[in-house]
């Protein structure tokens, strides 16, 4: 059973990002027993940040945690995680990554699986819709966020 | 030829971290033409941060950059980069990662090479000395920083 709070929170964060005019990607970190540990959204535009992707924001908001807490945790994210956020999940050995959608972008899912992390993809339409709208309005900001040159 | 400013700055940052009682790892991002783009050090202890490793701090301090600027850049770091910081370098496709030492810890060097990033290891004694001192004094903080349980 999916934790309701995890995906719900990640999607709320993505919507906040959208309302702020930012990259609409949200994330939430949930403990093994279903407690919300951290939440956040992409802050590239809002804070001029190159590193506050949604998952990094969620990990940052969770603060310092013992290794054992990450081990049982699930990272919920509205979009397939980029290499940096994949690496963050691998570093802390989170148990599971639940992804809102991977039609817009496919990140390090294979690498997560190789490292023994369970990966679940929901293909949620709301997540995809938020990204479609953003990319059509601000393609340059999106390319910058994934380290790609403008085409 | 190594950029003097890159490694010098990374080591200065590691020393700042040491003086602050933090994890003594520093990093600097240098452009293709030798300009310092960003610098920073690990802020786990100082800011209670789970994500501000040295390389992330340096990328954050560099702010938003076009993809092309990262492409030619070198990330200098005093210690072999963890999976998160490795992923950040892969995301932005930095050209090269210069590592102060990898005797204390070996991170994602193989993955960087697989992704076409040049990796140089200096085995600098000062970098190693800073880590040795820190780990002997604060082994729990160090384990937390690399997502390991205390032994």
Confidence of residue A1 (pLDDT cuts 50, 70, 90): very low
Whole-number pLDDT of residue B4: 83
From B49, B87, B147, residue closest to A93, measured CB to CB: B147
**Nearest-angstrom CA–CA distance, B27 and B98:** 10
Is the separation of the CB atoms in A28 and A38 below 8 Å? Answer: yes
pLDDT digits over A20-61, tens only? 999 999 999 999 999 999 999 999 999 999 999 999 999 999
This complex has an ipTM of 0.96
Q: In sequence order, which residues have a C-beta less than 8 Å from that of residue B75 and are 6 or more positions away? A: B27, B28, B29, B55, B58, B81, B89, B94, B96, B97, B98
Q: Residue A143 pLDDT more than 80?
A: yes
Contacts of B144 in chain A (CB under 8 A): 64, 66-67
pLDDT digits over B34-75, tens only? 999 999 999 999 999 999 999 999 999 999 999 999 999 999
Distance from CA of A61 to the nearest CA of B (A): 8
Domains and CATH numbers, chain B: 5-146 (3.40.140.10)
pLDDT digits over A53-70, tens only? 999 999 999 999 999 999
Beta-sheet strands, E only, within chain B: 26-30, 36-41, 74-79, 96-101, 118-121
Beta-carbon-side half-sphere exposure of residue B96 (alpha carbons within 13 Å): 18
3-state secondary structure (DSSP) of residue A74 = strand
Contacts of A22 in chain B (CB under 8 A): none
Binary contact (B51, A67; C-beta < 8 A): no
Burial of A47 (0-12, 13-18, 19+ CB in 10 A): middle
Q: Is B106 on the interface with A (CB under 8 A)?
A: no
Distance from CA of A62 to the nearest CA of B (A): 8
pLDDT digits over B96-142, tens only? 999 999 999 999 999 999 999 999 999 999 999 999 999 999 999 99
Is the separation of the CB atoms in B71 and B29 below 8 Å? Answer: no
Residue B56 Cα to chain centre, angstroms: 8
Q: Which of A63, A81, A67, A4 is nearest to A35 (CA)?
A: A4
Binary contact (A143, B92; C-beta < 8 A): no
| Mean pLDDT value across residues A98-108 | 98
Q: Is A73 on the interface with B (CB under 8 A)?
A: no
């Amino acid at each position: 059973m999916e934790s309701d709070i995890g995906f719900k929170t990640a999607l709320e964060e993505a919507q906040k990002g959208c309302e702020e005019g930012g990259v609409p990607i949200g994330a939430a970190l949930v403990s093994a027993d279903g407690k919300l540990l951290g939440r956040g959204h992409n802050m590239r535009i809002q804070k001029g940040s190159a590193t506050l992707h949604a998952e990094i924001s969620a990990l940052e908001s969770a603060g310092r945690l013992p290794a054992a807490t990450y081990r049982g945790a699930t990272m919920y994210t509205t979009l397939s995680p980029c290499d940096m956020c994949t690496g963050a999940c691998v570093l802390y050995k989170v148990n599971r990554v639940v992804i809102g959608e991977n039609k817009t972008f496919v990140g390090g899912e294979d690498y997560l699986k190789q490292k023994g992390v369970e990966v679940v993809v929901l293909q949620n339409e709301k997540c995809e819709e938020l990204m479609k709208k953003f990319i059509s309005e601000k393609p340059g900001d999106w390319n910058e966020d994934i380290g790609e040159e403008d085409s």
